[in-house]
Structure 1
Amino acid sequence: MFTPFTAVDYPASRFISQLRQTTLHDFPWLSLTEIRFDLQQFDSALFSFYAIPQPAHLSQAVNKRRAEYLASRYAARIALTSLGISDFLLDNDADRAPIWPAGIIGSLSHTAQRAVIVCAAVRPQRMAGVDVELLMKADSALELSEIIVSADELIYLKQCGIPLTSALTLAFSLKESLYKAVYPQLRQFMDFHSAEVIALNGETGQARLRLTRDFSREFPAGRQFIGYFQQQQDEIITLVVDDVHPAGD
């Protein structure tokens, strides 16, 4: 899915263990920045060390939340610097969606040990969303299955050749990526049944999703999107990039 990663220089600390960047084979215009960090090594002094202002609303937050914020915002700064935008601090709007610089589309996601940013220059119809997840526990995946997928989707996932726990985690993550990709243009809430997974190929790491309801003229029921995914041990990353146009368009 990705071209070879390139390591990025950064001020050394025990908190950040790795910082690297890559692109997608099929979408070389899309930059992906990944940072790995150790929650146990977090200290509030690291905000100053990495020159990331700590928001007032996080001053009393638990270390986990502050560490994830620091890692994701530092990764965003590195990602935007690679696009020629220096010293930009990523903020959120009233809907908690990231506010990217003018002329840039982007998406971010994190776990308690990893933050990932994708961003690119704006172009008409260009969309990108990313999500990272830890593999669900088998019992949790089954308990959440009715929230994540429809009965028909569950039948498909059981037959797609991917272990069901992984397939359900992928379905969850792919729908998160889809929501992040379309939200800047759609600006409407989507639940997990607003789209369905109609193809999931473990060999190619590609998926296809389809909207199940009409949102707008640009986002009607039946519109399809392509997704990409990769699983490494207990971690999953998914991306939804651009849209799949009907044949002949």
Structure 2
Amino acid sequence: MHIAPASPFTPQLPYVYRCMVFSPDIYQDADYKHFNQPLPDKLHRAVAKRKAEYLAGRVCAASALQPLGHTHFVVHSADDRAPIWPKGIRGSITHSKGVAMAVTTDQPDVLGIGIDIEHLMTDKQESELRGQILRDDETDAFTALGQDHEKPLTLVFSAKESIYKALYGVVSAFFGFDAAKLIAHDRQHLRFILTTDLHPTLPTGTAITVHYQSTHDMVLTECVHLNTN
């Protein structure tokens, strides 16, 4: 499989990132050995597309760790599927239709990072999935977002994925899309508040900011959870 550095985005968060394009249609299991990555046991029976996505994400992660002094590190997955980073490192991985990215940092005030790349949903998908992604009390803020962005649900979906990744390391439990409520936006940020107590340090009403940017067919969202104590 071909994996090469290329990026449609420059992340706004000031951390190490690596973005690559890959070609899942020509994936072979031997590609894992070629890129010095182990094929996880749990993926042996997975479809080629899933194996290719996982490999591309891990290649990005390994490359993003090198500037932080971790060469040849293999980012395995925990039982909950979360990446296992080196001690003192926070990071996030995402992939979508031939594009993969990883972000890493060793800054001690960072408790978690979440990034997410999504290709734009079709109008039908946005209509069908709206009830699963949006809260009823997000209607006004979502309508305002739709006046500035052609595919607002794709953007909100991606943002909530990034929020989940950024907070999960502290929360250590699943929480759904309804845990975050969109309240406002500008040209580069989406503003949310938590609607439930996720952790003693993340009570209801906690403000969450998500950075975002878009191309003609993709969006990138980024969220960082900082220790403010």
Match of 1:162 among 148, 161, 166: 148
Q: Secondary structure at the match of 2:28?
A: coil
Q: Which runs of 5+ in 1 are unaligned?
A: 1-13
Q: Deviation string for 1:42-62 (max 9, x for gaps)?
A: 222211211111122222321
Residue pair 1:226, 1:243 contacting (<8 A) in 2 also = no
Select the structure with the greater relative contact order (CA < 8 A; seq sep ≥ 6).
Answer: 2
More displaced 10-residue stretch of structure 1: 236-245 or 84-93: 236-245
* 2:62 pairs with 1:77: yes
Aligned equivalent of 1:233: 216
Q: Which runs of 5+ in 2 are unaligned?
A: none
Residue pair 1:22, 1:31 contacting (<8 A) in 2 also = no
Q: Secondary structure at the match of 1:168?
A: helix
Q: Secondary structure at the match of 1:127?
A: strand
Residue pair 2:110, 2:227 contacting (<8 A) in 1 also = no
Percent identity between matched residues is 33
What is the RMSD of the two structures over their aligned residues, measured on CA atoms? 2.2
- What is the TM-score of this pair, normalised by structure 1? 0.84
> Following the alignment from structure 2 to structure 1, what is the Cα–Cα distance between the partners of residues 2 and 102?
18
Aligned equivalent of 1:132: 117
Evaluate the alpha carbon distance shift between residue 21 and residue 237 of structure 1 in structure 2; reply closer, same or farther with a 3 A threshold: closer
Amino acid at match of 1:241: V
Evaluate the alpha carbon distance shift between residue 244 and residue 231 of structure 1 in structure 2; reply closer, same or farther with a 3 A threshold: farther
Residue pair 1:91, 1:98 contacting (<8 A) in 2 also = yes
Residue pair 1:141, 1:168 contacting (<8 A) in 2 also = yes
Q: Secondary structure at the match of 1:91?
A: coil
* 2:143 pairs with 1:193: no
Amino acid at match of 2:148: I
> Following the alignment from structure 2 to structure 1, what is the Cα–Cα distance between the partners of residues 207 and 124?
30
Q: Secondary structure at the match of 1:193?
A: helix
Amino acid at match of 2:133: I
Q: How many angstroms does 1:178 deviate by?
A: 0.5
Q: Deviation string for 1:20-50 (max 9, x for gaps)?
A: 699755x43x112111111122222211211
Evaluate the alpha carbon distance shift between residue 167 and residue 94 of structure 1 in structure 2; reply closer, same or farther with a 3 A threshold: same
| Higher share of residues assigned helix | 2
Aligned equivalent of 1:222: 205
* 2:46 pairs with 1:61: yes
Evaluate the alpha carbon distance shift between residue 231 and residue 22 of structure 1 in structure 2; reply closer, same or farther with a 3 A threshold: closer
- What is the TM-score of this pair, normalised by structure 2? 0.91
Q: How many residues align?
A: 228
Evaluate the alpha carbon distance shift between residue 113 and residue 78 of structure 1 in structure 2; reply closer, same or farther with a 3 A threshold: same
Evaluate the alpha carbon distance shift between residue 125 and residue 45 of structure 1 in structure 2; reply closer, same or farther with a 3 A threshold: closer
Aligned equivalent of 1:48: 33
